[in-house]
A = this chain, B = another copy of it.
Amino acid sequence: MNPLFQEELQVVNVGLPAFAEAIRMAGGTAVQVEWTPPGQGDSQVAQELAGLINHPAVEAANRQAFAAYQSAQPVLEGVATAAAVVPDMGERTILHSGPPIPWERMCGPMQGAIIGAILYEGWARDADAALAVVARGEVQFAPCHDHGAVGPMAGVISPSMPVWIVADREHGNRAYCNLNEGLGKVLRFGANGPEVIERLRWMAGVLAPALAAALERHGGLELKPLMAQALHMGDEVHNRNAAASSLLLKRLVPALLRADPAPAEIAAVVEFLAGNDHFFLNLSMAACKAMLDAAAGFSGSSMVTAMARNGVEFGIRLSGMGDAWFTAPAPVVDGLFFPGYGTADAAPDLGDSAITETAGVGGFAMAAAPAIVQFVGGTPQDAIAHTNEMTHITLGRNGALTLPAIDFVGTPAGIDARKVVDTGIAPIINTGIAHRQAGIGQIGAGITRAPLACFAQAIVALAERVES
């Protein structure tokens, strides 16, 4: 008889917990190790992954990409009209969030926002006429990311909209994002009624020139220290931007008041800024885009440089794979819904705002923002656990963005697609939830995960490029 069966059994069970439970029910002891097969059991993916793990070229490229991300110095330089600054933006181009998608496949909120943008631009007089403009092919659509830009939710940027200009002063690249409209009926959630268009026109005609004048007076505004301060004030700078928006106000309003000539309607501008706790979101996104663009283009790198959703598909980019998108169906968000709404009303995950998680903030920095669980669900302990879980799939920590609640460690950053595929741990994302129909707006907020399939595809494609 095997001596094993004469001793007391000490079982370590890897993977499916049912085996360990059976042993425990029989009175034995079993330690359960959480584990899933790499690539979720897809043998091709697992094989390609095996070739990339500890690969010297990938390791070296990742070190370079991560170092570039870390050394980036995003500075808010100004506000300008999109057509004047966003690269390769044609006269009839409308940018949208997420990976590329044709009009017919777009989700309701994105179509609604595009109709709004056409009305705002004056290319049509009403929604029907706007649809006809689209049908005649008179508008070109492209992802924000393909033009160095990002936009929350529908992410719609049309030529005459104002955008933030954020420069990475370390590497010279620039990133752009539209200006936040506030909550309620807003374009980014697909609303396009007269009050939405009127607000957009006020933002372009009054707000943007005032901000531009303030920034000219102030000079470049470094965003990383401001984000770091906000993380010490309970923000994660994706779904909670109360502190960052206040800090921005404190920086800009004195300059606004000193600007010469003083902008008209200054009180209305300050009231708009003071009344919108999400105002910093779009700047956080532009800063994250600038930091991640610095990390893009390192041949062989498996570092994720973008995660973005168009409400139908979720797409990611890798540093070593240029502008290629790796996509999978966008998930539905599990969250807290406003009264009267539920999962059935929700558009799938939407927006470029997951650029914040890609840069190590948002869901990755939830440990900084215990109060956010009142908005997205869960407990403060969950928030810390989410941050800690992300250390398993990241290349390092960003020492410039620290988390007080967990002893001031840097936030986990630089998602390594290899680690995601290897562990099966999907990046976590804090997000707003839009109604699936155009025009209704936000119906909740919650937590979601990036689909693993994107990362598996990316790893297979990267393996083809990297010599074994």
Q: Residues of A at under 8 Å CB distance from B?
A: 229, 232-235, 242-243, 246-247, 249-251, 253-254, 257-258, 266-267, 270-271, 274, 370-371, 373-374, 379-380, 404-408
Report 20 cross-chain contacts, Cβ distance below 8 Å, ordered by A residue: A232-B371, A233-B234, A233-B243, A234-B234, A234-B404, A246-B250, A249-B249, A249-B253, A250-B274, A251-B274, A253-B253, A253-B274, A254-B270, A254-B274, A257-B267, A258-B267, A370-B405, A373-B404, A374-B408, A405-B405
Task: Determine the chain B residues whose CB is within 8 A of the CB of A373 once the complex forms.
Answer: 404
**A380 vs B408: C-alpha distance when bound (angstroms):** 9
**Contact of A267 (CB < 8 Å), options: B249, B254, B380:** B254
Task: Determine the chain B residues whose CB is within 8 A of the CB of A408 once the complex forms.
Answer: 374, 380
Task: Determine the chain B residues whose CB is within 8 A of the CB of A270 once the complex forms.
Answer: 253-254, 257
**A275: min CB distance to chain B, Å:** 8
**A250 vs B249: C-alpha distance when bound (angstroms):** 8
User: Besides the contacts A233-B235, A246-B246, what 10 more A-B pairs have beta carbons closer than 8 Å?
Assistant: A233-B234, A234-B234, A246-B250, A249-B250, A253-B253, A253-B270, A254-B274, A374-B408, A380-B404, A380-B405
Copies of the chain in the assembly: 2
**A370 vs B404: C-alpha distance when bound (angstroms):** 6
**Contact of A233 (CB < 8 Å), options: B233, B379, B405:** B233
Task: Determine the chain B residues whose CB is within 8 A of the CB of A254 once the complex forms.
Answer: 267, 270-271, 274
What are the 10 closest A-B residue pairs judged by CB atoms, nearest first?
A246-B246, A370-B404, A257-B267, A232-B371, A250-B274, A371-B404, A233-B234, A254-B271, A233-B233, A234-B234
**A247: min CB distance to chain B, Å:** 7
| A242/B233 contact (C-beta < 8 A), A253-B253, A257-B266, A274-B250 known | yes
**A342: min CB distance to chain B, Å:** 24
Task: Determine the chain B residues whose CB is within 8 A of the CB of A229 once the complex forms.
Answer: 242
Task: Determine the chain B residues whose CB is within 8 A of the CB of A370 once the complex forms.
Answer: 404-405
**Contact of A246 (CB < 8 Å), options: B249, B258, B371:** B249
**A409: min CB distance to chain B, Å:** 11
**A242 vs B404: C-alpha distance when bound (angstroms):** 15
Task: Determine the chain B residues whose CB is within 8 A of the CB of A406 once the complex forms.
Answer: 380
**A229 vs B370: C-alpha distance when bound (angstroms):** 13
